[in-house]
Amino acid sequence: MDNWLTILPALGAHIAGAARLCVALESTVISHGLPYPQNLELALRVEEIVREQGAVPATIGILAGQITAGLDRSQIEYLATARGVLKVSIRDLPVVVARKLDGATTVATTAWTAHRAGIQVFATGGIGGVHRAGVLLPVDISADLPTLAQTPIIVVCAGAKAILDLPATLEWLETHGVPVVGYQTDHFPAFYNRDSGLAVDVRADTAAQVADLFRAQRALGLPGGLLVTVPVPVEYELPSDQMEEAIGRALHDAAGAGIKGKALTPFLLTRVSELTGAASLRANLALLENNARVAAQIVLALADGTS
């Protein structure tokens, strides 16, 4: 095993079997995406939801340069509370490993690690994408997108936040061969909203149908993964005009403050959540829990193989 990677220490020798029933979970949402103590409560709750479904959670993060799939409770607590935990995307991986730093993994680095650990399904909130390019903000495309195109894994999310250019994000995924699946929907969800007004490529109504799509993708020898999008539970959806107003202000503030590079996404997310308050936090928690449940059902359908 590569010595930079630690896999599920608690599961010891059963890793190959266990990895097949694993759902990977990211840590950027813990260290950078949610306030304390909701971040810690959420991280532990999504693990519990995965277990209740009969699957095995593997939260992924980086501790003193060691990339770890299957963080234990105290390690999750550390990432939820410590200062100086870096947001680590693909470009940052060699730096945190070489310098033995602590890092929270984004969708890109969680998917990358999960695949190398033998994990096939990963649940998150929202993926990064193509940012809204303006006169003031430069072109900015998340490493989540090329990683999805290069990594054979199922990423379960609630779409992408409307801070991004959603049509351009879907075009990018089309160009690079990533099918976008709507889970019990025909519409691409926009995180806080169930419908962005854009269509998905294919609808799947059951976990078994998602498993079939993934098996076909593997049988064809295609390099990339599947993006499975699950709308936020209806009772938590936020009004889209309220979101647009907050996003407009956040983009304006980012341009005014000269925010760019890896700081842009966290800046916009923080600003939007400040402007939309407790309702957006509740929606965020609800969709993360929902996505973990769907991801666990998909991993079981894959293991089942009888769809």
Q: Which residues contribute to the site for Mn ion (CB under 5 A)?
A: 140
Retrieve residue 41's tokens. Answer: 């409560």
Specify the residue, 141 or 286, whose C-beta has the smaller distance to Mn ion: 141
Residue of 61, 70, 103, 126 interacting with ligand PSU (CB under 6 A): 126
Specify the residue, 150 or 265, whose C-beta has the smaller distance to Mn ion: 265
Specify the residue, 259 or 294, whose C-beta has the smaller distance to Mn ion: 259
Specify the residue, 205 or 274, whose C-beta has the smaller distance to ligand PSU: 274
106: partner contacted, choices Mn ion, ligand PSU, none (Cβ within 5-8 A by kind): ligand PSU
Residue of 7, 15, 19, 28 interacting with ligand PSU (CB under 6 A): 28
Q: How close are the terminal C-alpha atoms of the chain, in Å?
A: 33
Q: How far is CA 78 from the centre of its chain?
A: 20
**Alpha-carbon Rg of the chain, whole angstroms?**
18
Q: Which residues contact 277 (CB under 8 A, 6 or more apart)?
A: none
The C-alpha atoms of residue 230 and residue 159 are separated, in whole angstroms, by 7
* Contact criterion met (CB below 8 Å) for 74 and 13: no
The C-alpha atoms of residue 220 and residue 202 are separated, in whole angstroms, by 17
User: Interaction with ligand PSU in 41-60: which residues (CB under 6 A)?
Assistant: none
Query: Which entry of 26, 47, 87, 237 is annotated as an active-site residue?
Result: 26
Does residue 159 touch ligand PSU according to CB under 6 A?
no
Does residue 282 touch ligand PSU according to CB under 6 A?
no
48 assigned to active site: no
The C-alpha atoms of residue 293 and residue 307 are separated, in whole angstroms, by 19
Return the residue matching tokens 């190959």. Answer: 16
Residues that bind ligand PSU (CB under 6 A): 26, 28-29, 33, 89, 106-108, 125-126, 128, 142-144, 161, 191, 262, 265, 269
Residues annotated catalytic, as ranges: 26, 161
